[in-house]
Structure 1
Amino acid sequence: MARTGKHQQSRTPFLSRPGVRRLAGFVLVTAIALVFVFENTTSVKIRLLVPEVTMPLWGALLIAWGLGILGAAFTLHRRR
Protein backbone atom coordinates (compact mmCIF):
# COMPACT_ATOMS: atom_id res chain seq x y z
CA MET A 1 0.00 0.00 0.00
CA ALA A 2 1.42 3.39 -0.99
CA ARG A 3 1.74 6.07 1.63
CA THR A 4 0.16 9.39 0.94
CA GLY A 5 -0.40 12.49 2.96
CA LYS A 6 1.79 14.31 5.44
CA HIS A 7 3.75 11.21 6.56
CA GLN A 8 5.46 10.85 3.20
CA GLN A 9 8.86 12.59 3.03
CA SER A 10 10.57 13.55 -0.18
CA ARG A 11 14.10 12.19 -0.37
CA THR A 12 16.88 13.88 -2.27
CA PRO A 13 19.04 11.61 -4.41
CA PHE A 14 22.31 10.59 -2.75
CA LEU A 15 24.58 12.28 -5.31
CA SER A 16 22.59 15.52 -5.18
CA ARG A 17 23.30 16.14 -1.51
CA PRO A 18 25.78 19.02 -0.94
CA GLY A 19 27.89 17.06 1.56
CA VAL A 20 28.35 14.17 -0.87
CA ARG A 21 29.34 16.52 -3.68
CA ARG A 22 31.96 18.22 -1.50
CA LEU A 23 33.30 14.89 -0.30
CA ALA A 24 33.50 13.52 -3.86
CA GLY A 25 35.52 16.55 -4.96
CA PHE A 26 37.82 16.22 -1.96
CA VAL A 27 38.40 12.51 -2.65
CA LEU A 28 39.16 13.19 -6.33
CA VAL A 29 41.64 16.00 -5.60
CA THR A 30 43.26 13.95 -2.82
CA ALA A 31 43.71 10.94 -5.11
CA ILE A 32 45.31 13.06 -7.83
CA ALA A 33 47.56 14.81 -5.29
CA LEU A 34 48.70 11.51 -3.76
CA VAL A 35 49.54 10.07 -7.20
CA PHE A 36 51.57 13.21 -7.93
CA VAL A 37 53.33 13.02 -4.56
CA PHE A 38 54.34 9.38 -4.80
CA GLU A 39 55.52 9.68 -8.42
CA ASN A 40 58.20 12.18 -7.34
CA THR A 41 60.73 10.02 -5.53
CA THR A 42 64.03 11.86 -6.09
CA SER A 43 65.94 13.37 -3.18
CA VAL A 44 66.11 17.15 -2.98
CA LYS A 45 67.81 19.73 -0.74
CA ILE A 46 65.36 21.90 1.17
CA ARG A 47 66.31 24.96 3.19
CA LEU A 48 64.29 25.40 6.39
CA LEU A 49 65.15 28.99 7.32
CA VAL A 50 68.69 28.15 8.48
CA PRO A 51 69.34 24.39 8.20
CA GLU A 52 69.44 22.61 4.86
CA VAL A 53 68.06 19.07 4.77
CA THR A 54 68.08 16.41 2.08
CA MET A 55 64.89 14.38 1.86
CA PRO A 56 62.76 12.64 -0.76
CA LEU A 57 60.57 15.02 -2.73
CA TRP A 58 57.48 12.94 -1.93
CA GLY A 59 58.04 13.61 1.77
CA ALA A 60 58.27 17.35 1.26
CA LEU A 61 55.17 17.35 -0.95
CA LEU A 62 53.27 15.25 1.57
CA ILE A 63 54.19 17.65 4.39
CA ALA A 64 53.10 20.64 2.30
CA TRP A 65 49.84 18.91 1.39
CA GLY A 66 49.13 18.09 5.04
CA LEU A 67 49.80 21.68 6.11
CA GLY A 68 47.44 22.86 3.38
CA ILE A 69 44.68 20.54 4.61
CA LEU A 70 45.20 21.75 8.20
CA GLY A 71 45.09 25.38 7.06
CA ALA A 72 41.88 24.79 5.12
CA ALA A 73 40.27 22.97 8.05
CA PHE A 74 41.26 25.78 10.42
CA THR A 75 39.86 28.41 8.05
CA LEU A 76 36.56 26.55 7.61
CA HIS A 77 36.28 25.96 11.36
CA ARG A 78 36.74 29.68 12.11
CA ARG A 79 33.97 30.68 9.66
CA ARG A 80 31.28 28.74 11.52
Structure 2
Amino acid sequence: MTNEEPGRRGTVAPSTWVGLALAVLAIVFVLQNQGRVTIQLLWMRVGAPMWLVLLILFLVGWAVGALVRRRRRR
Protein backbone atom coordinates (compact mmCIF):
# COMPACT_ATOMS: atom_id res chain seq x y z
CA MET A 1 0.00 0.00 0.00
CA THR A 2 1.20 3.46 -0.82
CA ASN A 3 0.14 6.85 0.51
CA GLU A 4 -0.43 8.31 -2.98
CA GLU A 5 -3.84 9.69 -3.82
CA PRO A 6 -5.59 7.96 -6.72
CA GLY A 7 -5.50 10.04 -9.91
CA ARG A 8 -2.61 12.22 -8.69
CA ARG A 9 0.19 10.00 -9.95
CA GLY A 10 2.68 11.83 -12.15
CA THR A 11 0.87 15.17 -12.21
CA VAL A 12 2.72 18.43 -11.77
CA ALA A 13 1.03 21.50 -10.32
CA PRO A 14 0.64 24.49 -12.68
CA SER A 15 2.54 26.69 -10.24
CA THR A 16 5.54 24.35 -10.60
CA TRP A 17 5.45 24.74 -14.39
CA VAL A 18 5.25 28.53 -14.07
CA GLY A 19 8.19 28.50 -11.64
CA LEU A 20 10.27 26.35 -14.00
CA ALA A 21 9.43 28.59 -16.97
CA LEU A 22 10.43 31.70 -15.03
CA ALA A 23 13.69 30.06 -13.93
CA VAL A 24 14.53 29.14 -17.54
CA LEU A 25 13.74 32.70 -18.69
CA ALA A 26 15.94 34.11 -15.93
CA ILE A 27 18.85 31.87 -16.97
CA VAL A 28 18.45 32.86 -20.64
CA PHE A 29 18.30 36.54 -19.63
CA VAL A 30 21.53 36.28 -17.63
CA LEU A 31 23.32 34.45 -20.43
CA GLN A 32 22.27 37.04 -23.03
CA ASN A 33 23.01 40.11 -20.90
CA GLN A 34 26.54 39.66 -19.66
CA GLY A 35 27.80 42.95 -21.09
CA ARG A 36 29.11 45.52 -18.62
CA VAL A 37 27.32 48.80 -18.05
CA THR A 38 28.45 51.87 -16.14
CA ILE A 39 26.07 53.32 -13.57
CA GLN A 40 26.59 56.80 -12.19
CA LEU A 41 24.72 57.90 -9.07
CA LEU A 42 25.68 61.24 -7.52
CA TRP A 43 29.47 61.03 -7.16
CA MET A 44 29.80 57.24 -7.55
CA ARG A 45 30.50 55.42 -10.79
CA VAL A 46 30.18 51.63 -10.84
CA GLY A 47 30.68 49.11 -13.63
CA ALA A 48 28.80 45.82 -13.44
CA PRO A 49 27.08 43.27 -15.69
CA MET A 50 23.66 44.47 -16.81
CA TRP A 51 21.88 41.45 -15.31
CA LEU A 52 23.39 42.20 -11.90
CA VAL A 53 22.32 45.84 -12.03
CA LEU A 54 18.76 44.82 -12.96
CA LEU A 55 18.69 42.19 -10.22
CA ILE A 56 19.76 44.77 -7.63
CA LEU A 57 17.11 47.22 -8.87
CA PHE A 58 14.48 44.47 -8.72
CA LEU A 59 15.43 43.65 -5.12
CA VAL A 60 15.37 47.32 -4.13
CA GLY A 61 11.92 47.71 -5.71
CA TRP A 62 10.69 44.57 -3.97
CA ALA A 63 11.97 45.84 -0.61
CA VAL A 64 10.32 49.25 -1.09
CA GLY A 65 7.04 47.56 -2.03
CA ALA A 66 7.22 45.30 1.02
CA LEU A 67 7.89 48.25 3.32
CA VAL A 68 5.03 50.31 1.87
CA ARG A 69 2.66 47.33 2.10
CA ARG A 70 3.68 46.65 5.71
CA ARG A 71 3.12 50.29 6.64
CA ARG A 72 -0.39 50.32 5.13
CA ARG A 73 -1.44 47.25 7.16
CA ARG A 74 -0.72 48.94 10.51
Bin the TM-score by the shorter chain: 0.5 to 0.7
**Matches for 1:4-23 after TM superposition, within 5 Å:** 9-11=6-8, 13-15=10-12, 17-23=13-19
CA distance in 2, matches of 1:12, 1:66: 40
Residue 22 of structure 1 and its aligned partner are, at CA, apart by: 1.7
Residue 12 of structure 1 and its aligned partner are, at CA, apart by: 5.7
- Specify which of 34, 46, 55 is matched with residue 47 of structure 2: 55
Name structure 1 gaps, 5 residues minimum.
1-7
Q: TM-score, normalised to structure 2's length? A: 0.53
- RMSD of Structure 2 on Structure 1 (CA): 3.1
Whose Rg is larger?
A: 1
Identity of aligned residues (%): 15
Name structure 2 gaps, 5 residues minimum.
70-74
Q: TM-score, normalised to structure 1's length? A: 0.50
4+ residue stretches of structure 1 with deviation over 6 A?
A: none
